[in-house]
Structure 1
Amino acid sequence: MSGALSCCVFIVVFLLDGWTRPGYSSARHTISALALGRRGWIQTANFIVSGTGLIAGGLGVLQAQASGFFAGMLMILGNGLVASGAFAMDPMRGYPMGTSNGDPVEFSLSHRLHDHAGLVVFCCFPLTVFAAGFTMDSLGAHIVAGVVAALLVMGVAAFGSAWEQDSPVTGLIQKAVVIGALGWTSGTLLLLGPS
């Protein structure tokens, strides 16, 4: 249950915080940008608490012997989220308010570590969904999981491209990927029962 709840809490917190944060554009800015500024502690805590919940969920799946692959992906994903909270990105692209609209000339060590953690998270998304689908006995569930995982691969690639080009919809693409991946993962964990 902790893993499923963690996925839902993560989504709700970043959506509500983003909608109510002065100067933050939910369409342009990434979820990680919410860890900056005076209210940055909210998203930092969201990363760490939700990541820890996913690790606990992975341990629950492992103890239930539902799927070692799915359990492992949950734990890696959870660790990636915790690391994303531990290392903040640099202020950039107009956020927080008053920040230059471009990228820094040189990125800090914290930003570089955050990027590595983010790479782990976004690589885990399609793999976690794929693994989640294969915890079910139904061929239909396997097929749907494969299709959703393929769509997430395309979504992650689209997000990467949008980020590189500083697209005005970078944040929107990222949020669609995160909601799709964590929504699917949460649903699977609920179907598996206590985890």
Structure 2
Amino acid sequence: MTTTLRTPAQTPAAAAVAPSPTTTRSLLTVAVVAQPLWAVVALTQAATRQGYDITRHPLSALSNGSLGWIQITNFVLAGVLTVIGAEGLRRVLRGTPGGTWAPRLVRISGIGMIAAGAFVMDPADGFPVGAPEGMPAALSWQSYAHFAAGSVTFTALIAACYVLGHHFGRAGMRKHAVGSRVAGTALLLGNGWAMSGGRAGTLTLAVGVITAMVWIATIANRYRRSL
């Protein structure tokens, strides 16, 4: 038996002022594209930028160097698209358990991405080529601002996944509930391992972030297809 994603039932009065399904579908399409776009652009750079090693350098480090503008643009564009796409999630989840906070948290993650693009972390660990090995003796304020923005993004994504887990659990959609919690836990553990200085922590963080991002996009696509 297949499970169909449902939006809340509307009264005739509410339906008269309800947003157009076409507009909602377009917003959900933006949500589908937003964060996976960031992942594709970031991973392409990780595979091609000279001196970059994903087991040593966070994906945020790609904002440095002569080609850093690509990752900066990637952060800002994906963040703006995430903020826009969150409105589509708000419309389809409205009136359901978790339907208020899941879209809000997705929107907050987008705002964090925009800030992460605006504030660039310091060069470190030999990237870009020519940068000193290890971490700088003193971090710039822009680097601290970038780390703060990253924390906002990660925390919001983790929370959004767990709220979606609650939403789907209440709806009796066990697979979606488990998937949501797994995605949130992947980012929680990946970020925790990176923060602890664990071996290849930047890689586990990248895996966790991309897992959560792709899951949010997957949920948005499920709802888009149901309209």
Match of 1:51 in 2: 79
**Alpha carbons of structure 1 residues 173 and 125: separation in structure 2 relative to 1, 3 Å:** same
1:16 aligns to what? 44
What is the aligned-residue RMSD (CA, Å)? Answer: 1.9
Say if 1:62 and 1:71, in contact at 8 Å, map to a contact too. yes
Q: Which residue of 1 aligns with 2:68?
A: 40
Task: State the 1:26 CA deviation.
Answer: 2.0
Larger Rg: 2
Q: Where in structure 2 are there 5+ consecutive unaligned residues? A: 1-28
1:65 CA drift (Å):
4.3
2:88 equivalent to 1:60: yes
Distance 2:82 2:74 in 1: 12
Q: 1:151 to 1:96 in 2, by over 3 A?
A: closer
Cα displacement string for residues 26-84 of structure 1 (whole angstroms, at most 9, x for unaligned residues): 22110110000000011001100001111001122223444221110111000000000
Higher mean alpha-carbon deviation, 31-40 vs 99-108, is at: 99-108
Where in structure 2 are the equivalents of 1:110-129 lying within 5 Å? 110-129=142-161
CA distance in 2, matches of 1:131, 1:80: 18
Identify the range of structure 1 (64-73 vs 21-30) with the bigger mean alpha-carbon deviation.
64-73
Deviation at 1:131, TM superposition (A): 2.4
Whether 1:138 aligns to 2:136 is: no
SS state of the match for residue 80, structure 2? helix
Q: Partner letter of residue 7 of structure 1? A: Q
User: Would you say the 8 A contact 1:132–1:145 is kept in 2?
Assistant: yes
Gaps of 5+ in 1: none
**Sequence identity, in percent?**
28
Question: For 2:220, which of 152, 173, 189 is the aligned residue?
Answer: 189
Number of aligned residue pairs: give it. 191
Shift, 1:138, TM fit: 2.9
Quick one: which amino acid aligns to residue 162 of structure 2?
A: F
> Is structure 2 residue 101 aligned with structure 1 residue 69?
yes
Deviations 1:127-164 (A, max 9, x none): 121223344433402244234423432222112113xx
**Equivalent residues of 2:121, 2:146 under 8 A apart:** yes
1:161 aligns with 196
Larger RCO: 1 or 2 (CA < 8 Å, sep 6+): 1
